[in-house]
Amino acid sequence: MCPDNPADSLVTQILPLDDLAAQTLALALLAEAQIVVAPTDTVYGVMCRYDSPAAIALLYAAKDRPPQKAIPVLVGDLAQLDLLAQLPLSSVAQALAHTLWPGALTLVLPAQPHLLPILTAGLPSLAVRMPDHAGLCSLIRRSGPLAATSANRSGAPETRSAREAFDQLAGRVPLILADPALDPISDSDAPPSTRPSTIVELTIPTRPTLLRSGALDDAVRAVLVGLGLMLFPPDSHVDRG
């Protein structure tokens, strides 16, 4: 059951992502409908099973996230898209996924009708990404797709290190998986800067729409030009962060 106020209710461990025991613990927590924090190729994210209402409720509570905001899902390989998106994928979605995944590109696709309303916020679409992080993708291939959003309190800055994630979410998550490549060695070091993922809506395949500018805008446009398409500006903004 989701606590009314999850703050300070948990002991939060920080363990290295590449440690086998840490991975085993993360998989066990995820299987028990808990949430964990892990690094991606952009920022740190808080994650849980995509098919567990209890886990997704914990994720919303840990972040103080408004329930009307849908949650993106991370996949570890293309085969996991079958669980999430309506098939067959459009030729545009296939081209972008095969060319730019893994990477900082989020695709908004028509969702499988069985997906939880708490995951999609009642929308007929779902934001999906395959992060360019080998350790995380390996974990996701074992756990199944993970609902994931930035590891910060709602409205607070995104976190780019395990220490930053701990400062915001200590007591709200049981485990933070740390990546030494993303974390500063000393307090005087700054974590590496990153750009957020480009978000492209493909619910109308012939009208790919830029919902958020990010790291791969130019690469997306190049793929679309090869298909005889352009990247449209948004008619309206849907928050998928």
Identify the pLDDT of residue 2. 41
Residue 1 lies in a domain: no
Between strands 36-39 and 44-49, the pairing is antiparallel
Which residues in the chain show pLDDT less than 70?
1-8, 184-193, 235-241
Q: How far is CA 1 from CA 55, 58, 101, 161, 176, in A?
A: 9, 8, 36, 29, 21
Residue 238 lies in a domain: no
| Strand ranges across the sheet with 209-212 | 13-16, 175-178, 36-39, 44-49, 146-150, 73-74, 125-129, 105-110, 198-201, 209-212
Identify the pLDDT of residue 49. 98
| C-alpha span between 66 and 142 (Å, rounded) | 29
Residue 212's domain comprises 13-226
Residue 119 lies in a domain: yes
Give the DSSP H/E element, type plus range, for residue 120.
helix 117-120
What are the pLDDT digits (tens) for 40-94? Answer: 999 999 999 999 999 999 999 999 998 888 999 999 999 999 999 999 999 999 9
Residue 7 lies in a domain: no
Angle among Cα 215, 219, 225 to the nearest 5 degrees reads 145
Residue 188 lies in a domain: yes
CATH number of the domain where residue 54 is located: 3.90.870.10
Residue 234 lies in a domain: no
Residue 167 lies in a domain: yes
Identify the pLDDT of residue 184. 57
SS3 100: helix
| C-alpha span between 151 and 156 (Å, rounded) | 10
> What is the end-to-end Cα distance of the chain in Å, rounded?
25
| C-alpha span between 64 and 187 (Å, rounded) | 28
Residue 86 lies in a domain: yes
Report how many domains make up the chain: 1
Identify the pLDDT of residue 67. 81
Identify the pLDDT of residue 193. 56
What is the overall mean pLDDT for the chain?
91
Instruction: Write the Ramachandran bin of 138: left for phi over 0, alpha for psi from -120 to 50, otherwise beta.
Output: alpha
